[in-house]
Amino acid sequence: MPGLDVRGVSVARGGLPIVRDVSLQAGSGEVTVLLGPNGAGKTTLLEAISGVIPVARGTIVLEGAEIQRLRRERRARLGLAHVEQGRAVFPGLTVEENLLVTVRKGDIEPLLALFPELAARRRVRAGMLSGGEQQMLVIARALAGRPRMLLVDEMSLGLAPIVVRRLMPVFRQLADEGVGVLLVEQYAALALDLGDRAYVLNRGEVVFDGPCAELAGKIDILRGAYLGEANGAAAAGAAERPAEGREARIAPEGSRDR
């Protein structure tokens, strides 16, 4: 299956194991959802895939090529883009200027077409944008390099549910156009609704691997493996809420996941 293939990857921070023997596949043209509680190792795994931190053991294959020993910029040139937490924009530059950092002027129009909100504010400084607009800008900038595989880490962090509902379908659209998306997300129900395959990471290990539709129907997985037995009632309640609760976070909003 073309796309991203992570094979037996282990990652350590400060000499301590954070990710242990993780294997997963994120296919081209698919949205792969990675869930788990804060501290499960999701961010660490994405940073290892994109080259922010080194891999202790294992293999990472992108479109048939091993990349775990390549520098981060080389991985990017091979088609890997990483939307990290934090909505890092150049606040003193306009929307258009933020995009021109990575692409030529004639190439920004398709990116603005994906986010009409940004097109309307193209000459506004990024520091004056709302949180949702800044997140759109970060995603647009990641897409400027026309990646084959897009890693997205907690896109919804700090955003209102209405903004999350606006942004989430963009990843389905990208997948339908052939881009692979590996999505780490706290709005588990909403992510599972649009995703193809799901993995649950807990204490650095994969504890579930299967179709999103299967995980969406397994409250016991969300209760036990996802948050741990101590928080099971809260997990089940969040997973079962109707209407607005469908996009409610199962994992509590909090500190940066490691």
- As a whole number of angstroms, the distance between CA 188 and CA 191 comes to 5
Q: Is residue 235 a part of any domain in this protein? A: yes
Range of the domain at 128: 3-247
Query: From start to end of 36-73, where are the E strands?
Result: 57-62, 65-66
Q: Is residue 66 situated within a structural domain?
A: yes
CA 257 from chain centre, in angstroms, equals: 12
Question: Domain for residue 31, yes or no?
Answer: yes
pLDDT at 250: 44
Do strands 180-184 and 31-35 pair parallel, antiparallel, or not at all (unpaired)? parallel
Sole residue written with tokens 């921070």:
13
Can you say whether the dihedral through the CA atoms of 164, 176, 251, 256 is positive or negative? negative
Here the tokens at position 28 are 């081209």
- The answer as to whether 227 is a domain residue is yes
Instruction: Please write the tens of the pLDDT for every residue from 97-150.
Output: 999 988 877 789 999 999 999 999 999 999 999 999 999 999 999 999 899 999
Q: What is the pTM of this model?
A: 0.86
Query: Domain with 168 in it: what CATH number?
Result: 3.40.50.300
- 99 domain residue, yes or no: yes
Task: Tell me the C-alpha distance between 72 and 131, whole Å.
Answer: 27
Q: What is the pLDDT of residue 223?
A: 66
Residue among 155, 159, 158 nearest 174 (CA): 155
253 belongs to a structural domain: no
Pair 55, 84: CB distance under 8 Å: no
52-69 pLDDT, tens digit per residue, is 999 999 999 999 999 999
Q: Is residue 257 part of a domain?
A: no
pLDDT for the residue numbered 225: 56
Q: What domain count does the chain have?
A: 1
- CB atoms near residue 8 (< 10 Å): 12
pLDDT in the model for residue 186: 87
Please report how the helices 131-143 and 161-176 are oriented relative to each other, as an axis angle in degrees rounded to 10: 10
Across the chain, which has 258 residues, the per-10-residue mean pLDDT values are 93 94 98 93 97 97 96 96 90 95 85 94 96 95 94 93 95 97 93 95 94 87 56 37 38 41
- pLDDT value, residue 38: 87
81 in a domain, yes or no? yes
Cα Dmax for the chain:
53
